[in-house]
A and B are shown apart, each in its own frame.
Chain A
Amino acid sequence: MIARLSPKRIVFGDHAPSLRITLTSAILALLCLVWIYPFLWMVSTSLKSNMEMFANPGLIPQDFMWDNYRRAWVEANMGRYFFNTLIVTAGSVFLVTVSTAMLGYVLGRYRFPGRTTFFVAFVATVFIPQGFTIIPVFELLSMMGLSSNLFGLTLATSGHAMVVFVVLFAGYFSQLPKELEEAARVEGITFFKIFWYVMLPLARPMVVTVVIMQVLHAWNDFLLPLVITLANPAIRTLSVGIYAFKGEQSIDWTGMSAAATISIVPVVILFVLLQRYFINGLAGAVKG
């Protein structure tokens, strides 16, 4: 057991140690330090007191101030914001995946009047960043009475980034062979069932990709939730909640670090656990 986990084995596996691998690993380790230092700093700060934060630049806190986390979770509403973000993320992932898969399927595989128009319209808008349409989106939600609730936020989060997914799905579906579908149709299976039971499972790599990209989008999204939650702080998402710390009348840096740590821990755990699917899934997007 111990032999298996020896440092040598971790770095070189079953191969003989080589200078090239040693050197490369060392350089990469240094580079990774740059990548993870901000996270170490954040976690370390989240355990310091506000006074110590300025007095002690080292990474190891003198006393572990676990109370920062309690404050962040309970009193800064991070608990609620976390829940809000979860709802918006889950809701928008469901909406986006189902609707863009169906739309992409039809656009990618069938010829019918209006198809070209739709297709061109989608491709043409890929590049329009969301900042430019935020005002009408907000107005639209206001008109519908959804401008300050979670449902409105979920809808808008879904709608904002969907164009790329439609294009990706259309591309993917158009490459799949026709035979399966035709065989199913001969057996009298309905159009919707073919899509759901035959075609969608075939598109699993793309579905995974879209799910992941939408999770990332919803979790990272900022401008849209910022604007929509302005009038109702109770529905803030994590990103907005943390940002709002900066605007306060006085600043609790360590509490903010604790809040920030809270907001990334679930995604990091999720990522570490699912990283294989994650990376293979994203790979699917580029290949498609």
Chain B
Amino acid sequence: MSTFELSRRSFLTRASAAIATTAFGSGASIAQTVPAPLNNVPEGAKFRWIDSGDQKAVFFKKFFEKYGEARGIDIIYDPLPWNEIAKVVPLGVRNNTAHDVFVLPRNFSLADAVSQGWVQPYDEFIPNIEEWKKGFPSGAFLPGINEFDGKTYGLPFTSNKRYASHLLYNKAYMDAAGFDPEAKPLTHSEFREAARKITEAGQGRYFGFIIGGSQLNRWADVVRNIGRIGGASAGGDGILDADIDLRTGEYVFDSDEYIAAIELLLAMQSDRSMFPGFINLNAPQARAYMPQGAAGMILQGPWNIPSWESQNPDFDFGLSSAPVPDSGNQGKLTISQGGAKPNTISLWSGSENGAIAGEIFHYLGTLEGQIEWANVVGAGDPPIMPEAVAKADMSPRSKQILNLFNDQIRVGPNPLVRNGEMSKVVAAYVAPDVNFARTVQGLVAGQLSGVKEQMSELKDRYNSALDAAFAKAKADGANVDRSELVFANWNPDVDFGAADY
């Protein structure tokens, strides 16, 4: 028997479904298979799993229900937003009440988790694990990322190849404004103009651009990605290097491209094209306004696609790149090699349910499991195996956005891969209180002024914080210095492979 912790997430999903009067159309085809038994699973065991939910929750709820029933275990699934995960997981580990399987808080690396004894390897729970690993694309399992001392600690089952601030727009409003971003991505000035025209047409009923402005990371994401597309070749997606040009090892906060991105936001703000009250909306609230027709454009992630398609089937929306520079020259977005870090799951060191976790991990790492995953989750969290993407039953929009990602995203170097001791720097690093995201928020909301000055001060703050982290790591015995952040041979336009290190 499986009792289900019906969370608010399901409440909300069903709520919206009820409103749209169409329950999940694809509901019947979700997660039909249950993995074959691999291990001896203790009958009646209580197994807990926590991740960031969203479209993933749609898959896991169905899957856990079937699986739990088949194996006679009780599975509790807690899909929580990131700001709660940041508290729940560390507290759980500290209290010895952690979930059996968890994702790590966004500012915590698996290397830290291993050194702190939070997680245990799962090799022994997957028979013939080396064979199984061969099914993954190369670079999925990497020492220093998800393997430590020859043991496997993290499961990279979704692809990293996506970005969280591409354009999603209301087609009717955009048509009326006279733009077609699907034919050609909007330039900065076109983007501003579109926002202005949509707002004008809305006459107070809807607005050109919306952003979840109380959720700080949205500001960093948007500016960083517009900046990168503009050509500021900031590094990977790590905690340290996200805004560092890894060719030189220097921060790019005050680069022309980043500044242009902020100026675009400021211009929309002074045009009054931004949704009123955006500063107090979190990302979910902002996203929810889109299908309700209260805003015309949002820079957000692919997870909106399956969720809007199932819950708001009447909402006609289009997809495109984040705004590109007026000159038309486009840079690439950089990601780290391997799986999507936020979705990488691990087994808690105190868990006695490794056998169960092993079965589920194994299933998620088979082509069959990956296809089932892609069928439900779509482009939101694309599976890591390209073959699964090809074989999955995905909506045209999902395929469209994955093509865009293939086109815009390249794998960059990862300092952690070159030198595992860099994880000590990551652990020692404390970002400044007034960080990148807050500074952008302050500038757009008008609490700060002078983009150039603020960004160069920001750069100074980050440099001191980074130097302090290096000093601390060195004092801790790590053999590192800032040259670890320089990859002189890196070309941002092509993938950086294992041979390039």
Contact = CB atoms under 8 A, between A and B. Distances in A.
Interface residues of B, number: 39
Nearest to A67: B18
A250 B307 contact: yes
Contacts of A51: 19, 292
Interface string A234-263: 100000010011111111101100000000
Contacts of A71: 11, 14-15, 18
B11 A252 contact: yes
- Name which of A54, A142, A231, A249 has the most chain B CB atoms within 10 A of its CB: A249
Given A148-B95, A252-B16, A75 B285 contact: no
A74 B11 CA distance: 8
Interface string B54-78: 1000000000000000000000001
Interface stretch (B79-87, B182-190, B229-237, B392-400): B79-87
B12 A233 contact: no
B498 interface: no
A214 interface: no
B449 to A, nearest CB: 30
A153 B78 CA distance: 21
B15 A50 contact: yes
Interface in A132-174: 138, 142, 145, 147-148
B95 A231 contact: yes
B18 A247 contact: no
A35 B224 CA distance: 45
A230 B16 contact: no
Interface in B8-40: 8-16, 18-19
Contacts of B284: 247-251
A231 B95 CA distance: 9
B345 to A, nearest CB: 18
B38 to A, nearest CB: 30
Contacts of A50: 15-16, 19, 292
A113 B187 CA distance: 80
A49 B16 CA distance: 9
A194 interface: no
B166 interface: no
B53 interface: yes
Contacts of A145: 95
A76 interface: yes
B294 A54 contact: yes
A53 to B, nearest CB: 9
B218 interface: no
Contacts of A250: 12-13, 16, 284, 287-288, 307, 311
B282 interface: yes
A232 B91 CA distance: 10
Contact of A247 (B14, B84, B294): B84
A77 interface: yes
- Name which of A76, A250, A252 has the most chain B CB atoms within 10 A of its CB: A250
Contacts of B53: 249
Contacts of B13: 250
Nearest to A142: B95
Interface of A: 49-51, 54, 67-68, 71-72, 74-77, 138, 142, 145, 147-148, 230-234, 241, 244-252, 254-255
Q: Which 6 A-B pairs have the closest CB atoms?
A: A75-B11, A252-B15, A76-B11, A231-B92, A247-B81, A252-B12
15 contacts: A49-B19, A71-B11, A71-B15, A71-B18, A75-B14, A77-B8, A142-B94, A147-B91, A147-B95, A230-B91, A232-B97, A247-B83, A247-B84, A248-B81, A249-B79
